């Protein structure tokens, strides 16, 4: 593993990073938080604390953390001589993952998600979103049950008893990172009302208008849901699904670009829940009061 400046970080939990000083880790964290340019791979250099600019950022961040502690009544902890421990606590731990885990998907009541039972849980004509976190905590993904009459999506499971196909995509817009309900699923009836995509279902982000086709694999960035309209220049990362001999569904890896906000999909956060439960997000149907859905 190399920590030379200018190289991409290859950090494996427990191998070097944990032994670094608090200032070095804080500088690294600040570097990772910088905004990313869509479609541009950014190499993250390890911190150089000899650089006055880096040291000033670290000092400023520490001052801000201390201000927050004072506001939150944690000043007493600092006065007790536990400043270092408190700062460790405030800093996100970011354990990351060394490789993609195989994670079973469950309905919210704990029932395993299966190709054979998904039609009775996820209506392919509904705007409701069913989200699970993978591979990191707080990283939502859509689990979609797509109508088969529009074709077989790439790497889909199925057909289901109802003739649908099961796929999963990141629910973090690759433009600037909007999430559901702003990034949402438009079923065929909404696609027809919008006279968009030939009436085939799509994913649309109302933040700035990016649209993705869950039936077509992008031929750039290693796959993912194809871009129908920008401003995104990056397809929506796909979560590859697999089944066991009982038909239970598992998330096994991501393909396509790195999830928005991460310079490497497996780093920059803590591992997601295992197994991963689905959370339902209700999106009021297009045209109704309070709906976040707008035609592209």
CA angle in degrees (0–180, nearest 5) for 45-51-53: 95
237 contacts 257 by C-beta, under 8 angstroms: yes
Minimum Å gap between C-beta 212 and ligand FES is 10
Can residue 121 be called a binding residue for ligand FES (CB under 6 A)?
A: no
| Cα distance between residue 196 and residue 198, in whole Å | 5
Task: Kindly write down the DSSP assignment for every residue of 165-189, as one continuous string.
Answer: EEEEEESS-TTT---TTTEEEE-HH
Pairing status of strand 164-170 against strand 238-243: antiparallel
User: Rounded to an integer, what distance in angstroms lies between the CA atom of residue 203 and that of residue 226?
Assistant: 10
Among residues 159, 162, 209, 284, the one that binds ligand FES under rule CB under 6 A: 209
Binding segment for ligand FES (CB under 6 A), chosen from 78-86, 135-143, 172-180, 285-293, is: 172-180
Question: What SS3 state is found at 85?
Answer: helix
Check residue 199 for interaction with ligand FES (CB under 6 A): no
- The verdict on 252 binding ligand FES (CB under 6 A) reads no
Are residues 138 and 130 in contact, defined by beta-carbon separation less than 8 angstroms?
A: no
- Per CB under 6 A, 178 contacts ligand FES: yes
Choices 79-87, 88-96, 149-157, 204-212 (CB under 6 A): range interacting with ligand FES: 204-212
Contacts of 30 (CB under 8 A, 6+ apart): 57, 58, 61
β-sheet bridge partners, residue 104: 250
Is 20 a residue that touches ligand FES (CB under 6 A)?
no
Which C-beta is closer to ligand FES: that of 162 or that of 177? 177
Closer residue to ligand FES, CB minimum distance, 13 or 231:
231
Candidate residues 127, 210, 238, 254; the one interacting with ligand FES per rule CB under 6 A? 210
Q: Give 20 or 208: the residue with its C-beta nearer to ligand FES.
A: 208
Q: Does residue number 208 form part of the binding site for ligand FES (CB under 6 A)?
A: yes
Binding to ligand FES, residues 31-70 (CB under 6 A): none
Taking each helix axis from N to C end, the angle separating 22-32 and 52-71, rounded to the nearest 10 degrees, works out to 90
Tell me if 171 contacts ligand FES by CB under 6 A: no
- Regarding 25 and contact with ligand FES (CB under 6 A), the answer is no
Which residues are near ligand FES by CB under 6 A? 173, 175-178, 205, 207-210, 231-232
């Amino acid at each position: 593993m190399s920590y030379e400046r200018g190289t991409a970080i290859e950090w494996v939990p427990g191998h070097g990073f944990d032994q670094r000083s608090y200032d070095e880790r804080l500088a690294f964290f600040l570097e990772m938080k910088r905004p990313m340019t869509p479609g541009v791979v950014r190499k993250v250099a390890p911190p150089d604390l000899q650089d006055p600019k880096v040291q000033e950022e670290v000092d400023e961040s520490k001052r801000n953390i201390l201000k927050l502690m004072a506001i939150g009544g944690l000043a007493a902890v600092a006065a007790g001589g536990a400043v270092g421990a408190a700062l460790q606590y405030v800093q996100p731990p970011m354990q990351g993952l060394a490789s993609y885990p195989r994670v079973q998907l469950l309905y919210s009541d704990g029932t395993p998600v299966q190709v054979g039972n998904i039609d009775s849980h996820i209506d392919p004509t509904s705007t409701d979103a069913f989200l699970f976190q993978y591979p990191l905590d707080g990283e939502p993904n859509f689990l979609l049950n797509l109508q088969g009459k529009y074709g077989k999506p790439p790497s889909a499971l199925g057909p289901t008893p109802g003739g649908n196909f099961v796929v999963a995509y990141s629910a973090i817009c690759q433009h600037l990172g909007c999430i559901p309900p702003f990034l949402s699923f438009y079923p065929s009836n909404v696609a027809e009302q919008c006279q968009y995509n030939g009436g085939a279902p799509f994913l649309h982000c109302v933040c700035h208008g990016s649209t993705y086709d869950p039936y077509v694999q992008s031929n750039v960035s290693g796959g993912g849901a194809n871009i129908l309209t920008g401003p995104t220049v990056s397809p929506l990362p796909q979560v590859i699904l697999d089944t066991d001999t009982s038909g239970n569904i598992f998330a096994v890896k991501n393909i396509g670009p790195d999830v928005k906000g991460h310079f490497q999909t497996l780093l920059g956060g803590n591992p997601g829940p295992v197994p991963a439960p689905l959370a339902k997000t209700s999106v009021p149907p297009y045209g109704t009061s309070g709906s976040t859905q707008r035609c592209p």
